[in-house]
Structure 1
Amino acid sequence: MACRTAFIIAIAATLLASPYAFAQGAEPTGVWQTQAGDARVKISKCGGGLCGVIVGLKEPVDPATGKPQVDDKNPNPALKTRPMIGLPLFSGMQPSAPNKWSGQIYNADDGGTYASSVSVTGADTLKIEGCVGALCGGETWTRVGR
């Protein structure tokens, strides 16, 4: 009987230490670094969902102009001069499954807005996915600090 109890405790400890278990208790809020390491995004709760805003850039100054980076890929001429730091990438992403939120994300690299999801995949990892029609892509962001 003692052997069986020890076995059950060992199984439970293994399950609790798995990445899945970490994802269950992990919070998406905080500061995250993009996979390429070129930006940091602060994710916070807003309106029952999630919002994400750029809070830092690897290269905050545009080498061509010597001025802070701006949203120059935006198709809307009125938005092309807004600063990259402080730029909202998504707002109001709503829960769509356990540890997953869905909505739209703005891609400052090409000025497009895409159907997207944010999923907690570990205590310090976040999967960001976006789709245009049937074409989908994604990347993993890493938590910065604690």
Structure 2
Amino acid sequence: MSRKNLLASALLCATLAGISISISAVQAATVAEGKSRAEVLEELKQAQADGSYYCNDSDRQLECNALAAKQQLALKKAPQLGHWLSQSGLLEIEIAACGQSLCGTVIKELGQSTSSTSALGLQVLSGLKPVSSQQWQGRIYNRGNGLTHECLMSLASPTELRILAYQDTPANGKEQIWSRVD
């Protein structure tokens, strides 16, 4: 890796990981890339905000690894991890890390269901990724109608999980509150 790319990678890595860096490191990396400091920082902010930043370029492996490490840390520290009782009270769902995202799988059926098939082992939440420090976005499967919808997940309190399922926009969504199982 060239000195220019190494400096730029160090800047990107530190910024993506939320590490504060010195002005001299920013200046060195921006000069190496031929861009102004403001341009580099704006590009990084935008890539972080829209989640579009990814890398398969071997010259940028440093920041790719930092981003992957940051995502794994977010998964391990997610307060949503654990066992939750669905709003209906019929399903116990375990939210856990599934690769680079969170997913929710039915681990227990409680009471009588209107469905003749078992939900045990069914993944009802999938592809949940952080969109902010408080909110995750992914998909939720509705066993009642067989459809999968987009969803937002956040903690309403330490013992309540807010799930907002929607088709087009969250404003038209339907909210569920799940309860933490001790």
Are 2:124 and 1:89 equivalent residues in the alignment?
A: yes
Are 2:107 and 1:55 equivalent residues in the alignment?
A: yes
Contact 1:26 1:123 in 2 (8 A): no
Structure 2 unmatched runs, 5+: 1-76
Structure 1 unmatched runs, 5+: 1-24, 64-68, 71-82
Partners in 2 of 1:104 and 1:35 — Cα distance?
17
Contact 1:49 1:101 in 2 (8 A): no
Show the counterpart of 1:128: 163
Indicate the structure whose relative CO is greater, using CA pairs within 8 Å and at least 6 residues apart: 1
Show the counterpart of 1:7: none
CA shift, 1:121, in A, is 1.9
- More strand by proportion, 1 or 2? 1
TM-score (norm 2): 0.52
Show the counterpart of 2:178: 141
Look up the equivalent residue of 1:96 and give its one-letter code: V
Number of residue equivalences: 104
Partners in 1 of 2:102 and 2:78 — Cα distance?
14
Q: Residue 92 and residue 26 in structure 1: after superposition, are their counterparts in 2 closer, same or farther (change >3 A)?
A: closer
Look up the equivalent residue of 1:90 and give its one-letter code: L
TM-score (norm 1): 0.63
* Pairing of 1:68-79 with structure 2 (within 5 A): 69-70=116-117
Please identify the structure whose Cα radius of gyration is greater.
Answer: 2
Show the counterpart of 1:104: 139
Secondary structure of 2:79 counterpart:
coil
Q: Residue 133 and residue 38 in structure 1: after superposition, are their counterparts in 2 closer, same or farther (change >3 A)?
A: same
